[in-house]
Amino acid sequence: MRAADPVGLYRTVRLIRRFEERAVELVHSGHIVGGIHPYLGQEGIAAGVCAALRAEDLVTGTHRGHGHVLAKGADPARTLAELLGRETGLNRGRGGSMHAADLSVGVLGANAIVGASGAILTGAVWARRRRGDDVVGATFFGDGAVNEGMLLEAFNLAALWRVPVLFVCENNGYATTMPVAGAVAGTITGRAEAFGMPAAVVDGQDPEAVRDAAATAVARMRAGGGPELVEARTYRFDAHHTFEHAVRLDYRPPEEVAEGRSRDPVDIQGARLPAAERAAVDAEVESTLDAAAEFALASPEPDPAGALDHLYASGLTARTGGG
Ligand SMILES: Cc1ncc(C[n+]2csc(CCOP(=O)(O)OP(=O)(O)O)c2C)c(N)n1
């Protein structure tokens, strides 16, 4: 678990920032195949929400999911190895960027299907509580998910069955190139309110504001309240996906990007620390990530003979084709 105090929050946002910047470099150098969806600019949301959770609580994330995985406490070295498709990765290189999971810290997985993470988490928390486990969950999704039937069905069942799930909308203003105003009728909080869920808007660039909003909701959920929604307003500093670094898409005015980038969660949180303490955390993060990169790059790729391993929890072997 990562700490919730000002230094701990700074360490988490800085770790995610530098992890993502290094991952982008590894895409450009050809070591990460297929590219990634960078979480740059949105770090304060994962850091703030996960700071309000306990180690045993559950989380699901999105295609832009490394920040959620790291904020919940996954090992950066094994997370990076997963992005690189290595046998030492969180999921032995089978999941990659968009499917990284670490059950040991309650991360049920990033998820490439827009809107799916909310349904998976609702079912998982419901099942664990029926078993008697004292857990709550948080699920992250973008503004692009708020019109997906699957997510709205999850809102309905979570509210009906009072499943303690914090629905966290990361509203970065765009779903790929589609602006929110062109896709979302009504409001995002209004969707939650329609199901009787408390809903709040929070500044997603301020890690402490996110932590406080999440902590308020989580305390109510632990006391027996049902699900809640937080809409964190944020801005994506980089591309939707690293493919945009090769094919520049013209959908965000430069002035808007400059203004969005001017509110940087790393700087907002960093300004709350004495300069020497901030520098010490920066150095610590750098050495953690140096070690992570060395570990990941030196790790072997999975043996192709094991391509069908781990497909079935029951241990059944997949058919190799041909009936
Ligand atoms: C069900 C589904 N529809 C479409 C896509 C293709 N797709 C991948 S990311 C994305 C945009 C998602 O936008 P948003 O939810 O706002 O998240 P952001 O990328 O801004 O973090 C889309 C449409 C998908 N992965 N899944």
The pLDDT tens digits for 100-127 are 999 999 999 999 999 999 999 999 999 9
Question: 228 and 197 in contact (C-beta within 8 Å)?
Answer: yes
Ligand 1 center to 114 CA (angstroms): 5
CA distance 95 to 59: 16
Residue 131: count of CB within 10 angstroms of its CB: 8
Closest among 238, 43, 233 to 143, alpha carbons compared: 233
Whether ligand 1 lies within 6 angstroms of the CB of 289 is answered as no
pLDDT number for residue 286: 98
Residue ranges in the chain assigned as alpha helix (H): 6-28, 43-51, 66-71, 76-83, 116-130, 149-160, 188-194, 207-222, 254-261, 265-270, 275-298
Whether ligand 1 lies within 6 angstroms of the CB of 172 is answered as yes
pLDDT number for residue 321: 61
For the entire predicted model, the pTM comes to 0.96
Ligand 1 center to 224 CA (angstroms): 32
The percentage of residues in the chain with a pLDDT greater than 70, rounded to a whole number, is 97
Ligand 1 nearest atom to the CA of residue 63, by list position: 9
- Name which residue sits closest to atom 8 of ligand 1, judged by CA: 114
Whether ligand 1 lies within 6 angstroms of the CB of 176 is answered as yes
Ligand 1 center to 295 CA (angstroms): 31
Amino acid sitting at position 255 = E
CA distance 100 to 63: 10
Mutation to probe ligand 1, out of 111, 141, 176 (largest number of atoms < 8 A from CB): 176
Question: 107 and 61 in contact (C-beta within 8 Å)?
Answer: yes
Ligand 1 nearest atom to the CA of residue 142, by list position: 15
pLDDT number for residue 317: 64
Ligand 1 center to 55 CA (angstroms): 28
Ligand 1 center to 176 CA (angstroms): 7
CA distance 81 to 90: 7
pLDDT number for residue 323: 45
- Name which residue sits closest to atom 7 of ligand 1, judged by CA: 114
Amino acid sitting at position 122 = T
Q: Directed axis angle between helix 6-28 and helix 207-222, to 10°?
A: 110
- Per-residue model confidence as pLDDT tens digits over 51-93: 999 999 999 999 999 999 999 999 999 999 999 999 999 999 9
Mutation to probe ligand 1, out of 45, 60, 63, 184 (largest number of atoms < 8 A from CB): 63
- Name which residue sits closest to atom 4 of ligand 1, judged by CA: 114
pLDDT number for residue 311: 75
pLDDT at 22 over 50: yes
Backbone dihedral angles phi then psi of residue 260, each to the nearest 5 degrees: -60, -40
Whether ligand 1 lies within 6 angstroms of the CB of 278 is answered as no
CA distance 58 to 133: 11
- Per-residue model confidence as pLDDT tens digits over 143-182: 999 999 999 999 999 999 999 999 999 999 999 999 999 9
Whether ligand 1 lies within 6 angstroms of the CB of 139 is answered as no
Q: Which residues contact 43 (CB under 8 A, 6 or more apart)?
A: 12, 13, 16, 17, 20, 67, 207, 265, 266
Mutation to probe ligand 1, out of 42, 114, 141, 152 (largest number of atoms < 8 A from CB): 114
